[in-house]
């Protein structure tokens, strides 16, 4: 670098940080890219996020905050392309990225930071052309996902696995969210351990906070019942996130004559357009339709209100590179019941801020949720622990460590 603070080309091909998380392909990665970019900019870095244009109404350049721009790159039809169709558009996308740089002075960008394997493929070309390091974050890995598939879910194709292997081989540095993800990179993708850096994501503690008017007031404002326990699932409705496990757990509670909480599903369909209708049908089949509330995803400030309104937030994912929802819920003072998988082991302190469930057996989830919802004292203790655990996560710390990774990649 010819200057003290980096100019970063941040690549997110398949999903824009401007999209609403919780539906389609928009999820925790969108939040990660936005919050990391803002934190980097607060430290003087300049960040330009390149993403694929999905609407003619999108401006070519959008300023997110001081020092952070989103650039929409035309690559294929605006609508109608599934994520699995995008490998065929990577050349087009890469050309748009390269043309942007060509209009600047030579050596404008200091580092390429790509997210997800599709972006890694485009980032590999850009970094090679510009003579700068490629720093890559996988977020999810095909081999890990395929090892924990839900019944009926489709395996990730070999083309993705090969693409991931190529990016791992070519990246100058790899950022893993947790030690577990770093282990997967090294053991399943043969990544060079010297190039793997663990940088834990953060949480926005100003937005996600226990401070509020109180649970009853939050429920009243959101139109939620005041006289029943509430379990909240917030995320994309897809087999990978396993909201079906929660529906079946409610069915187990009902079959045993135990109190059935209200389950709020806060999210939209992902992967299959029928995903939400399938979940509604499952609730009908197991006889708990009247106990399930479906609501579309909401913005960050309102999401915090939903977290505070719930007695428990459930994260039953089949695999998870981190589990940002779990940390955000804990920051609001709500205990989390999560699957004992991947990054959730880092996000949730078992027995301190929540409970980790060792499998996806609906009967076990029913017992865990039922026992916790009956025990007000334990929930209060976990709520206090949740705030303490969430306070350990910071986007500012994430940005500082990321800058260190950039510097080490440049020096190498």
Question: Would you give the distance in Å from CA 277 to the centre of its chain?
Answer: 23
Binding residues for Mg(2+): 307-308, 310, 334
Coil/strand/helix, residue 275? helix
Please list, in sequence order, all residues whose beta carbon lies within 8 angstroms of the beta carbon of residue 264, skipping any fewer than 6 positions away: 224, 230, 231, 232, 233, 292, 293, 295, 306, 310
Q: Which residue ranges are tagged as binding site for UDP-N-acetyl-alpha-D-glucosamine?
A: 20-21, 28, 236, 241, 298, 320, 328
Q: Residue 412 — pLDDT band, cuts 50, 70, 90?
A: confident
Per the annotation, binding residues are: 14, 20-21, 25-30, 83, 116, 140, 160, 236, 241, 298, 307-308, 310, 320, 328, 334
Q: From CA 402, how far away is CA 412, in angstroms rounded?
A: 15
Does residue 16 register a pLDDT over 70? yes
pLDDT band at 231 (very low <50, low <70, confident <90, very high): very high
pLDDT above 70 as % of the chain: 98
Q: What is the mean pLDDT of residues 282-303?
A: 96
Q: Which whole number is the average pLDDT over 183-211?
A: 97
User: Helix or strand or coil: residue 382?
Assistant: helix
Rounded to the nearest integer, the mean pLDDT of the chain is 94
The mean per-residue pLDDT over the stretch 262-274 comes to: 92
For residue 52, what is the DSSP state?
Answer: E
Structure-model confidence comparison of residues 80 and 186, the more confident one: 186
Work out the average pLDDT over 224-233: 96
Q: What percent of the chain has pLDDT over 90?
A: 87
Indicate the fold that domain 7-202+394-410 takes in CATH.
Answer: Rossmann fold (3.40.50)
Q: Residue 2: pLDDT above 50?
A: no
Q: What is the DSSP letter of 39?
A: H
Phi and psi at 63, nearest 5°, equal: -85, 120
Q: How many CB atoms lie within 10 A of CB 60?
A: 11
CB-facing half-sphere around the CA of 151: CA atoms within 13 A: 4
What pLDDT shows up at residue 1?
Answer: 52
Buried b (16+ CB within 10 A) or exposed e, 96-135: bbeebbeeeeeebbbbbbbbbbbbbbbbbbbbeebebbbb
CATH 3.40.50.2000 residue ranges for the chain:
7-202+394-410, 215-391
Average pLDDT over residues 302-325: 96
pLDDT grade for 18, boundaries at 50, 70 and 90: confident
C-alpha dihedral sign at 180, 348, 32, 90: positive
Question: What phi-psi label fits residue 373: left (phi over 0), alpha (psi between -120 and 50 degrees) or beta?
Answer: alpha
Tell me which architecture the domain covering 215-391 has in CATH: 3-Layer(aba) Sandwich (3.40)
pLDDT digits (tens, 9 = 90+) for 29-83: 999 999 999 999 999 999 999 999 988 889 999 999 999 999 999 998 888 787 8
Alpha carbons 156 and 146: distance in angstroms, whole number: 6
Signed CA dihedral, 204, 315, 116, 195: sign only:
positive
Instruction: Provide the whole-model pTM.
Output: 0.94
Q: Give residue 146's pLDDT band: very low, low, confident or very high (50, 70, 90).
A: very high
Which residue numbers belong to the known binding site for 1D-myo-inositol 3-phosphate? 14, 25-30, 83, 116, 140, 160
Q: Measured between alpha carbons, how far is 45 from 183 in angstroms, rounded to an integer?
A: 30
């Amino acid at each position: 670098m010819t200057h003290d603070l980096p100019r970063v080309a941040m690549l997110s091909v398949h999903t824009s940080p401007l999209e609403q998380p919780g539906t389609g392909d928009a999820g925790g990665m969108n939040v990660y890219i936005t919050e990391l970019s803002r934190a980097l900019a607060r430290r003087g870095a300049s960040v330009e996020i390149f993403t694929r244009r999905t609407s003619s109404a999108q401006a070519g350049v959008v300023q997110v905050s001081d020092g952070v721009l989103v650039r929409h790159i035309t690559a294929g039809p605006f609508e109608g392309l599934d994520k699995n169709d995008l490998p065929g558009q990577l050349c087009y996308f890469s050309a748009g990225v390269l043309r942007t740089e060509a209009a600047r002075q030579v050596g404008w960008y200091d580092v390429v930071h790509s997210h997800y394997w599709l972006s890694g493929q485009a980032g590999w070309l850009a970094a090679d052309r510009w003579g700068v390091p490629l720093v890559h974050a996988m977020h999810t890995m095909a081999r890990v996902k395929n090892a924990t598939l839900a019944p009926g879910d489709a395996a990730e194709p070999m083309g993705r696995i090969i693409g991931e292997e190529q990016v791992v081989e070519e990246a100058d540095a790899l950022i893993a969210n947790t030690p577990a993800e770093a282990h997967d990179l090294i053991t399943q993708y043969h990544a060079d351990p010297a190039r793997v850096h663990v940088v834990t994501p953060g949480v926005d503690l100003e937005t996600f906070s226990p401070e509020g008017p109180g649970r009853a007031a939050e429920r009243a404002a959101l139109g939620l019942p005041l006289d029943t326990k509430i379990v909240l699932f917030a995320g994309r409705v897809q087999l990978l996130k396993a909201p079906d496990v929660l529906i079946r757990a409610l069915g187990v509670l009902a079959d045993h004559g135990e109190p059935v909480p209200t389950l709020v599903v806060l999210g939209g369909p992902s992967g299959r357009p029928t995903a939400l209708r399938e979940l509604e049908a499952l609730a009908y089949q197991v006889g708990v339709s009247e106990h399930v509330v479906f609501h579309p995803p909401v913005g960050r400030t309102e999401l915090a209100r939903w977290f505070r309104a719930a007695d428990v937030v459930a994260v039953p994912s089949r695999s998870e590179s981190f589990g940002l929802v779990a940390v955000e819920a804990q920051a609001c003072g709500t205990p989390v019941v999560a699957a004992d998988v991947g990054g959730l082991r880092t996000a949730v302190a078992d027995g301190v801020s929540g409970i980790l469930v060792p499998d996806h057996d609906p009967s076990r989830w029913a017992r865990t949720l039922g026992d916790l919802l009956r025990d007000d004292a334990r929930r209060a203790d976990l709520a206090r622990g949740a705030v303490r655990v969430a306070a350990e996560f910071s986007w500012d710390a994430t940005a500082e460590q990321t800058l260190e990774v950039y510097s080490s990649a440049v020096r190498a």
